[in-house]
């Protein structure tokens, strides 16, 4: 699912001569490789910041990453006010949250003008510096997954630079996945397998940190939704309705001790 909306103030990375790459040599290598493969313009390099640290990414973008996210691209734009949209790479979670789309990529609401934490940067900024590209790459993945995640996030960046950002219809099965296969040379099956493996691993890590304690159930179809924490807001069954529907609101059935 999408990164959680948090009232954090974005502290945008400074514009430098080149990109900010807070990354391992492997990530750096694939970054340059796919930057060239995608024919991305050199002029955007100074506006790019990549990190493998979730907290740093959150500082830059003001957005908190869901634990399951393997990679994320965020376009931050200043047009009188700061707005941004995010595209993340993660498996979808079940359950529809009220007021939010189930899409794995959700454009997030813009920041208000007052939330810009570095107005000084903006005052002296040239036309060039009216936006930033922020990328997160999860460090704890197998090397091939690192490679394809770098390619994946740069495809989002390329879309944005060309003015045609895409939403995910289905991770691993949509047009973005097809482009990912074309650019990396991996076939789609292999890409899906990698995504599945990494997601399963993240899920395992998450379970180790927060074991499942609450079993919610759909009053209509009976599907169970195990959870580590209680839902903080009403959630309905995603099988019974793709959008939030109070008729299928999940009920707490039991608590595991």
Which positions touch Zn ion (CB under 5 A)?
87, 89, 218, 220-221, 223, 237, 239-240
Q: Between 141 and 218, whose beta carbon lies closer to Zn ion?
A: 218
CB of 89 to Zn ion, least distance (A): 5
CB of 125 to Zn ion, least distance (A): 28
DSSP string, 209-230: HS---EEEE-TTT--EEEESS-
Q: Between 132 and 171, whose beta carbon lies closer to Zn ion?
A: 171
Q: Between 103 and 220, whose beta carbon lies closer to Zn ion?
A: 220
CB of 42 to Zn ion, least distance (A): 24
Q: Between 12 and 250, whose beta carbon lies closer to Zn ion?
A: 250
Going along 118-250, which residue ranges are E strands? 131-137, 214-217, 224-227, 235-236
Q: How far is CA 63 from CA 85, 175, 179, 207, 208, in A?
A: 10, 26, 27, 23, 24
Q: Between 76 and 218, whose beta carbon lies closer to Zn ion?
A: 218
Pick from 238, 239, 226: nearest CA to 252: 226
CB of 105 to Zn ion, least distance (A): 6
With 0-12 / 13-18 / 19 or more C-beta atoms within 10 angstroms meaning exposed / middle / buried, residue 180 is buried
CB of 6 to Zn ion, least distance (A): 20
């Amino acid at each position: 699912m999408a990164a959680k909306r948090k009232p954090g103030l974005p502290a945008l990375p400074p514009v430098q001569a080149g990109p900010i790459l807070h990354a391992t040599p492997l990530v750096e290598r694939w970054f340059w490789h796919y930057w060239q493969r995608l024919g991305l313009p050199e002029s955007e390099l100074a506006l790019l910041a990549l990190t493998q640290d979730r907290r740093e990414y959150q500082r830059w973008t003001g957005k908190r990453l869901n634990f399951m996210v393997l990679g994320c691209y965020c376009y931050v734009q200043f047009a009188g006010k700061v707005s941004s949209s995010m595209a993340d790479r993660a498996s979808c979670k079940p359950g529809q949250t009220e007021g939010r789309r189930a899409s794995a990529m959700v454009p997030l609401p813009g920041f208000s003008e007052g939330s810009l934490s570095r107005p000084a940067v903006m005052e002296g900024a040239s036309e060039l510096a009216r936006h930033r590209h922020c990328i997160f790459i999860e460090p704890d993945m197998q090397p091939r997954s690192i490679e394809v995640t770098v390619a994946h996030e740069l495809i989002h960046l390329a879309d944005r630079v060309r003015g045609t950002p895409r939403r995910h219809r289905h991770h691993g099965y949509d047009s973005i996945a097809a482009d990912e296969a074309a650019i990396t040379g991996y076939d789609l099956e292999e890409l899906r397998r990698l995504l599945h493996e990494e997601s399963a691993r993240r899920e395992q890590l998450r379970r180790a940190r927060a074991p499942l304690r609450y079993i919610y159930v759909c009053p209509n179809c009976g599907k169970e939704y195990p959870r580590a924490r209680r839902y903080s807001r009403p959630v309905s069954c995603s099988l019974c309705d793709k959008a939030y529907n109070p008729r299928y609101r999940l009920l707490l059935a039991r608590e595991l001790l």
